[in-house]
Amino acid sequence: MRHIETIKSVVLLLLVLLSITFTFSIWSYAPKFDSIDPDQSVDGSITSVHNKKPISDIVLPYKWVFKFNNDELFGTTDTTVIQPVLEEMMRWKVFGLTSVNQELTPEELHSLLTKGNQCSLYYSGEVPVSVYEDVLEIEDKNIPEILFNRLIVNWNPEDSLPEVHFISTVSMTHYKAKVKMEDTQRFQKSIIDKGKRLSQYKEVQVNETRTIAVSSEPITAIHSTYIEEEINPSLFKDALFNDPNAVRKNSLGTNTEEYGDDHALMNVNTKTKVLNFAYPPESLELAIPSELMTATIDFVNDHSGWTDDYRYSYMNPVSRYIKFQLHDNGLPVFSDVPDGAEITEKLGENRVYKYIRPYFTLNSPIKTYEVTLPPATEVARQLQASEDLDFTAIEEIKPGYLLIHDTDVGVLKFEPHWFYYVKGNWEMYEQELNRKGGGLLGLE
């Protein structure tokens, strides 16, 4: 029994030492995690490298039309069909860029657009040729500031080299160049033969000097419903302000929040999910189109802001303004709320002066079903018969979506419709209402 106290002391000492060892192990333990990719997107962050895009993913044609010498007309607005054509054009080398006409008349323009043995790519807005070099490699040096919204590839069976024509229906200019390609048989198979398998199109006469090439067959589109998922506005605050820590946040009412510092201001509409960022000063100088496009695309790329499928749709160098429109399933989206489906920017003196955009994002739809739209030729016939519309002023008819914000249940509905462009606005065609003499919805 005389050793019991000694044993107790030893055991107590061991317990104390063991406790100290465990405590130190806990303090010094560092679990081994996988290394974190700094470009990885976390929790919807807009700083993800995956949201940066090249010009070729942003400046895309919305329609491809073929016309052969026998007056057969084919076409499509399907992006999945048009994209391989652009990839094939990336193999080409363009040379001998020359000016053909700087003051096209309406009659000359009509003649150019309706010739046989050619295919035409239609763009929503004017595109600077120099910016489009990641699609068309141009060998000429010192390319002038050429704009186009129709890219025509014309071929002659007796000439192995096709011509490419850069035409602007806005500036009324015409440039052309020759095309070199490694395999002319490939051009026959990947372009011409594919064009013969497109949907039947028809030229609808709008007025004496203008026709519109539209589908004469019904088209199928997908009606989609998405849960309204927002990107936290604080992520845009962190990306857009020079010093996010100096930014002050204020509530201006039920649906408006304001973020600001001594240089910039960002207003957020929490109901429509649209933010408006401004960084003065404004500039009133005429912008060079290629610089306007490059600077504004770089601005969105710098904070990885291409959160969904936004595509270039319009540019005005005089007001230094540019617009990128949301697309879903390859079709343009028009919103039922202002600025609800587009990114708009105005270029200031040294950087973007104004930046307006939605801050929702589209993930997988919770519901989809197919909708069949009538042939565009039928839409044109109905519009021509309308007493409330000047049909001769219509410039284009194309399919798209009306985006409906259902705030009561927190969903976004994408309804397929035909849209037509008249007097500077996109209007939605509604068959049932149009029969009653109405059905016009002005959309910017």
Helix (H, G, I), strand (E, B) or coil at 1: coil
The span from the CA of 21 to the CA of 16, in Å, is 9
DSSP assignment string, 335-362? ESSTTTTEEEEEE-SSSEEEEEEE-EE-
Residue 255, both tokens: 């649906």
CATH of domain 227-327+338-358: 3.30.310.160
pLDDT at 20: 52
The pLDDT > 90 percentage for the chain reads 74
The 10s digit of each residue's pLDDT in 162-174 is: 899 999 999 999 9
- Name the E strands within 292-424: 310-316, 321-328, 331-335, 342-347, 352-358, 360-361, 367-373, 394-406, 411-422
Query: How do the domains of the chain map onto residue ranges?
Result: 55-217, 220-224+364-443, 227-327+338-358
Q: pLDDT tens digits, the chain, 444 residues: what are they?
A: 455 565 556 555 555 555 555 444 434 443 333 333 333 333 344 444 357 899 999 999 999 999 988 789 999 999 999 999 999 999 999 999 999 999 999 999 999 999 999 999 999 999 999 999 889 999 998 899 999 999 999 987 776 678 999 999 999 999 999 999 887 778 888 888 889 999 999 999 999 999 999 999 999 999 999 999 999 999 999 999 999 999 999 998 889 999 999 999 999 999 999 999 999 999 999 999 999 999 999 999 999 999 999 999 999 999 999 999 999 999 999 999 999 999 999 999 889 999 999 999 999 999 999 999 999 999 999 999 998 899 999 999 999 999 999 988 999 999 999 999 999 999 999 875 444 333 444 455
pLDDT at 183: 78
The 10s digit of each residue's pLDDT in 57-77 is: 999 999 999 998 878 999 999
Helix (H, G, I), strand (E, B) or coil at 8: helix
pLDDT at 52: 87
pLDDT at 33: 33
Is residue 358 reached through a cis peptide bond, with omega within 30 degrees of 0 on the bond before it?
no
CB 164 within 8 A of CB 176: yes
